[in-house]
Structure 1
Amino acid sequence: MRLHPQPTAGQATPWSFPRPSRDTLPNGLTVLRHHAPGQRVIAVEVHLTASLAAEPTAQEGVATIMARALSEGTDRLSAEEFAAELERCGATLDAHADHAGVRVSLEVPASRLARALGLLADALRVPAFPESEVERLVRNRLDEIPHELANPSRRAAVALSAALFPADSRMSRPRQGTTESVERIDAKAVRGYYEAHLRPAAATAVVVGDLTGIDLDAVLRDTLGAWTGPAATPPAWTPVAADDAGRVVIVNRPGAVQTQALIGRVGPDRHDPVWPAQTLGVYCLGGTITSRLDRVLREEKGYTYGIRAFGQVLRSSADRTGLSLLGIRGSVATEVTGPALADLWQVLRTLAAEGLTDAERDVAVQNLVGVAPLRFETAAAVAGTLADQVEEELADDYQATLYARLAETGTVEASVAAVRAFPEDRLVTVLVGDAEQIADPVRELGIGEVTVVDG
């Protein structure tokens, strides 16, 4: 028997998040591109500056319906024909709307990029918005809303937004609209929102993948470059004042065997210098199964299957009017809701008194920085992050710089940031559960006034 020699590992090469090249098409559309050898499925992300705050109050949710309707036919293809053409390309096309704008995502084999980009360009340039398709999308959205409100996690998010933000702020209401507002949306409203906000000068396309043998300049010129429209007006973000005074909102679900908890407040966006230290500190607190919250509430007490702390950007702007949601979420059995919250607050008090350990900091850095190359193995992951940077008005090298700053952040700095992220007396707590069983034990904790609302 002949045995071949065992292969040996090669020399590891340094990794950093890619920095794309940037240029602008004659129609004003910005293009970021990154050549990723071997990635034969190319990812395209298009960010369109169309804020939810610009929606008519009576028709909130129109941005979502418009985003979904972009692929429901063009001036030359019906909805069915458009879907068939995408299928022939082996492509997927998705779109959604959020506070900062509309995002359209395309994935396609490199050999069919030109054809798929032509379909994407037509969807943006000449969408049909047929009345029958818009009506169908509205019905679908109306069907989704009761299911979302029945989900304890989604219901908690709706209640937290309403508690944190003033009633006249768009951020206080569901991103995809309410039943009342969605019912008022029609094809005319969708067309009006499109014409008012979608234009090439307010769009950025991110293209990531193996571009070998592809004349991307020519492809872009013949597809997205053919989109015309008026000049874009930069969005004027209005600062939002949030009320994070410590209090509890119980969304009553009689007979619920579990309590869904969502605890939150508003924090800075990624332009703030504290973001790297805050990211590290919050990860130590509740970013994984080895974090403090899980270690106490799951491993020691057995209250939950898992509880997480997180920071989620809601809206970001270079002029520092952006903000994020800092939150803790998880579910516990109804009968241990009071003890679980008591232990959670004790974790926060201990963190404030003692800080993090060097071991916790080191594990967090390894998890956040050390495995980063695995997170960005696909073109879609890279394109999505680059588009996030565009959406949040960050520099093209932000992500690479962030990893360097995370690695440099010390234990004390991360501890201070985590304590400031979750001060024990400035947290709004939303509990979706059986108010009759959990209200009194929660009042006894003294973490804020308790209000019960219908579920």
Structure 2
Amino acid sequence: MTFHPRPEAGPAKPWAFPAPGRGRLPNGLTVLHCHRPGQRVVAVEVNLDAPLDAEAAGLDGVATIMARALSEGTDKHDAEEFAAELERCGATWDAHADHPGVRISLEVPVSRLAKGLALLADALRAPAFADSEVERLVGNRLDEIPHELANPARRASMALSRALFPAQSRLSRPRQGTQETVQGLDAGAVRAFYEAHVRPATATAVIVGDLAGTDLDQILADTLGAWQGGTAPPPPRAPITADDTGRVVVVDRPGAVQTQVLIGRIGADRHDRVWPAQVLGTYCLGGTLTSRLDRVLREEKGYTYGVRAFGRVLRSEPDGSGAAMLAISGSVATDVTGPALADLWTVLRTLKEGGLTDAERDVAVQNLVGVAPLRFETAAAVAGTLADQVEQYLPDDFQARLYARLAETGTVEATAAVVNAFPTDRLVTVLVGDASAIAEPVRALGIGEVTVETG
């Protein structure tokens, strides 16, 4: 039998995260655009400077309802007509609110870009906020809340936020509001939030795709350029403070066969020079199936299907201040909750005493830097990252420089960063599970005071 010779990999091609062009429309809207040959579906991201801190007292969730309502009718189309127009031009739409602000995502074939941007412009310029549509969205949101409370991972996230941040901080409360706050929302509250915070002068549009042969300037002038609005003072943003005194919160779920584990604190965000080393060290700790936590808790002990460590930016400020949530998450069988946490703390202590290995560092660099070209193959991935940079007040070349810095970061530096990120005596641990079975074994570990909440 004759076999064909095995194909060999060709020489590596140089790659860098794409650099966008930047401009500003006469109405004040900032525009970032990036030509990506072959990407015939254009991705558009719009950042609105409407952070959750700007929600009025007792109206948590109004930013989420407003974001969802933007596509529920304009001065030209009612909700059904708007949805039909999006479908006719082959577009997809998504919108959500988070601590930094409201984000709208649109994907549309380049041949229908003008139509897609016209619909986006109408939604930003003159949303209808019809009473019936807002009532429906409020009802939908109220229906979601019981499901979120029943989800162990979501419940753990809520409990960690409440434990870390002071009660008066918006960071301590659910992003999309609670049943008590959402049920009081109406079209008037939604419109008031829109009028106070949505205007072109404080918004940014990111457009990524194959723009060859497209008169983007003219399309923008005819669509988003028609959106008008005045100026306003920056929305309020309270300073980020947190209490990461080592302690354990058990959210009681009687009879639960698994314990959802979420361990966290706040730390440096992307403005801090330690961020690349922190990313690298955290990846070595729990970024993949071959990380140290998985190797011990999953492969050696069989406690879990997987444990992950990560850092997620919470909010950044124009002056370069801000914070990220640094966390470890996973789930374990109820009867091994105590041993699993004991081994997890052992991993953290061993990391401090012995450090990472060069092999771990090399694998992390290969996975984070080497696969970057695949990660950013789509226009949507590039647009989302550029929009994140805008939202976090980072320079346009931040992502490109980050990969260079990751490749330059050594093992010792990565070790120091991850040890500082996860100090064993400054971690808040949330366990969602059967308190009668897990509270006492966890108390015996001595990792902090244990309190029990009803689920």
TM-score (norm 2): 0.98
Residue by residue, what CA displacement relative to the aligned partner does 1:128-163 show, whole Å, maximum 9, x if unpaired?
000000000000000000000100000000000000
Mapped to 2, the partners of 1:260 and 1:111 lie a distance apart of 47
Change in CA separation of 1:9 and 1:267 when aligned onto 2, cut-off 3 Å = closer
Structure 1 residues 77-92: aligned runs within 5 Å: 77-92=77-92
Letter in 1 for 2:89: C
- Deviation per CA, 1:345-372, whole angstroms, max 9, x where unpaired? 0000000000000000000000000000
CA distance in 2 between partners of 1:193 and 1:410 (Å)? 47
Shift of 1:59: 1.1
Query: Contact 1:271/1:317 (CA < 8 Å) preserved in 2?
Result: no
Q: CA RMSD in A?
A: 1.4
Q: So what's the TM-score if we normalise by structure 1?
A: 0.98
Report 1:365-380 matches (<5 A): 365-380=365-380
What residue in structure 2 maps to residue 391 of structure 1? 391
- Tell me, in whole angstroms, the C-alpha distance in 2 between the residues paired with 1:271 and 1:39: 31
Contact 1:19 1:397 in 2 (8 A): yes
Aligned positions of 1:217-228 closer than 5 A: 217-228=217-228
**Other-structure match for 2:29:** 29
Aligned 1:145-294 pairs, distance under 5 A: 145-294=145-294
After superposition, residues 37-436 of structure 1 pair within 5 angstroms as: 37-436=37-436
SS at match of 1:312: strand
CA contact 2:41–2:209 (8 Å) conserved in 1: yes
Residues 248, 430 of structure 1: 8 Å contact kept: yes
Please tell me whether the aligned partners of residues 239 and 321 of structure 1 are also in contact (alpha carbons under 8 angstroms).
no
- How many angstroms does 1:198 deviate by? 0.2
Distance 1:405 1:148, change over 3 A: same
Contact 2:281 2:417 in 1 (8 A): yes
CA contact (8 A) 2:248 2:429 kept: yes
Residues 237, 321 of structure 1: 8 Å contact kept = no
Q: How many residues end up aligned between the 2 structures?
A: 453
How far is the alpha carbon of 1:6 from its aligned partner? Answer: 9.6
Q: Deviations over 1:348-402 (max 9, x none)?
A: 0000000000000000000000000000000000000000000000000000000
Q: In the alignment, is the contact (CA less than 8 A) between 2:271 and 2:321 conserved in 1?
A: no
Q: Quick one: distance in 2 between partners of 1:8 and 1:330?
A: 39
**1:59–1:184 CA contact under 8 A, matched in 2:** yes
Aligned partners of 1:277 and 1:414 also within 8 Å? yes
- Structure 2 CA distance for partners of 1:8 and 1:438, relative to 1, 3 Å: closer
Give the whole-Å Cα distance in 1 for the aligned partners of 2:331 and 2:374.
29
Give the 3 Å change call, closer, same or farther, for CA 9–303 of structure 1 in structure 2: closer
Distance 1:20 1:454 in 2: 50
Q: 1:215–1:232: structure 2 CA closer, same or farther, 3 Å change rule? A: farther
| 1:172 maps to amino acid | S
Whole-angstrom distance in 1 between the partners of 2:124 and 2:170: 25
Separation of aligned partners in 2, 1:142 and 1:23: 41
Q: 1:12-43 deviations in whole A, cap 9, x for unaligned? A: 32000011000000000000000001000000
What amino acid does structure 1 have at the position aligned with 2:161?
A: S
% identity of equivalent residues: 76
Amino acid in the other structure paired with 2:367: N
Secondary structure of the corresponding residue to residue 103 of structure 2: strand
1:81-101 CA-to-partner distances (Å, cap 9, x unmatched) read 000000000000110000000
Residue 237 (structure 1) shift? 3.0
The 2-side partners of 1:268 and 1:342 are apart by: 26
> What 5-or-longer segments of structure 1 have no aligned partner?
none
